[in-house]
Amino acid sequence: MEETDSGAEPAIDWDSMTFSFTETDRMYIAKCKQGEDWQAGIMQDFQELRLSPAAGVINYGQGLFEGMKARRAEDGRVLLFRPELNARRAQGGSRRLGMAVVSEEMFLDAVHQVVQENIRWLPPNGRGELYIRPLIFGSGAILGVAPAPEYTFLVYAVPVGLYFKGGMNPIALKVSNEFHRAAPGGSGGVKAIGNYAPGMMPSKNAKAEGYAEIIYLDAVHHRYVEEVGAANFFCVKDNVLYTPELTGTILPGITRLSTIELARSLGYQVLETKVDIEFAMGADEAFCAGTAAVISPIGSIEHGGNVATYCDGEVGAVTKQLYDALTAIQEGRAPDPFGWTPSV
């Protein structure tokens, strides 16, 4: 993807994009010494970082990330999706990890600048999204296990296609009987970078067996559904939606919240509760929800040698209705009565 003229169309085939890294033009960076205010952030060319080998983030995983998307509407507007919720979630995560907190205003300003200065990487309407990746991490050197003396707030962006190959083709998932993602009192409820590496091998192994991802059960009873890799879980039984309640071990997904609000506005009852895996296996429909995954229908779940198949491998009617309603708002094809899609 060689491109030097920053005004030109990038040499990228929008229709064959996957959810993978492409280097774009510009990134935002700001720094903050512990106990002081953030220095003014600057936009700079996308570049590698200089970090002390003793930086808190690479020694002790003191860092978090966010994930959000900008989309090009048919009428040319560039739409974000509830970016203030990413800003607030990052604030909660920074507090949990003992890091400097980025104000909502600074976070949103950085996101807007990164979209504007990488606008040529924003795919045409309906052909993908610009995925925005804010990072906050301990960049100062520290040897003891303690909060780093300096923090970096960085935002970059990458054009992306589908997270799960096949898009609305229902995916096959497998319950992990060996691994858990998070325990009560841990960091599962924030987007800590350290939550992700332990899931890589389980996920890779499941993919090698032909599954799209892992479903994690709770670490205490090994019975209640937590999450699907990097997305939240929903199932539908007798037209009622069920999704795992927020107890601190799962990520409070923005797509999860939006799906709940949207479903309620469409007249569905939605229960945030403990979702027993046996109940989920007997549900009528299941899907997962996340920024990268959007709403992805689940076709089957394997658990302890049993396989539950939903809707004969077709997309369930409720899943389809919610997918259509959510993406129509996100892409600016439908009115946005909730005010979820500010333009850049």
Binding site for ligand COI (CB under 6 A): 67, 230, 290-292
Taking the C-alpha atoms of residue 166 and residue 146, their distance in angstroms, rounded to an integer, is: 44
- CA-only gyration radius of the chain, Å: 20
Catalytically active residues, by annotation: 191
Size of the residue set binding ligand PLP (CB under 6 A): 12
Report the DSSP beta bridge partners of residue 171: 298
Three-state DSSP class for residue 2: coil
Kindly write down the DSSP assignment for every residue of 139-170, as one continuous string: -SB-SSSS--SEEEEEEEEEEE-BSSTTTTSP
Which residue's CB comes closest to ligand COI? 67
Q: Min. distance of Cβ 19 from ligand COI in angstroms? A: 7
Bridge-based pairing of strands 68-72 and 129-138 is antiparallel
Taking the least distance from each CB to ligand PLP, the nearer of 113 and 291 is: 291
Task: Give me the sign of the Cα torsion angle 92, 94, 95, 100.
Answer: negative
- Is position 227 an interface residue for ligand PLP (rule: CB under 6 A)? yes
Kindly list the distances between the CA atom of residue 64 and the CA atoms of 126, 136, 193, 250, in Å, as whole numbers in the listed order.
30, 5, 5, 15
Give me the sign of the Cα torsion angle 63, 58, 131, 293: negative
Shortest reach from residue 87's CB to ligand PLP, in Å: 12
* Dist. CA 8–CA 18, nearest whole Å: 22
Give the contact letters, 273-312, x = binds to ligand PLP (CB under 6 A), - = no.
-----------------xx---------------------
Decide which of ligand COI, ligand PLP, none touches 285; Cβ closer than 5 to 8 Å per partner kind: none
Going by their DSSP bridges, the two strands 213-217 and 171-175 should be labelled as: parallel
CA neighbor of 173 nearest in space, from 316, 318, 310: 310
Q: Which stretch binds ligand PLP (CB under 6 A): 30-38, 123-131, 229-237, 318-326?
A: 229-237
State which residue, 72 or 256, has the beta carbon closest to ligand PLP: 256
218 interacts with ligand PLP by CB under 6 A: no
Q: Interface with ligand PLP includes 212 (CB under 6 A)?
A: no
Minimum distance from residue 82 beta carbon to ligand PLP (Å): 9
Residue nearest to ligand PLP (CB): 253
Instruction: CB nearer to ligand PLP: give 134 or 290.
Output: 290
Toward ligand PLP, which CB reaches closer, 122 or 254? 254
Does 255 bind ligand PLP (CB under 6 A)? Our answer is yes
> What phi and psi, each to the nearest 5 degrees, are found at residue 155?
-135, 125
Q: Is 248 exposed, middle or buried (0-12, 13-18, 19+ CB in 10 A)?
A: middle
Which residues from 43-102 bind ligand PLP, rule CB under 6 A? Answer: 67
| Nearest approach, Cβ of residue 292 and ligand PLP (Å) | 6
Nearer to ligand COI (CB atom), residue 147 or residue 252: 252
Binding site for ligand PLP (CB under 6 A): 67, 227, 230-232, 251, 253-256, 290-291
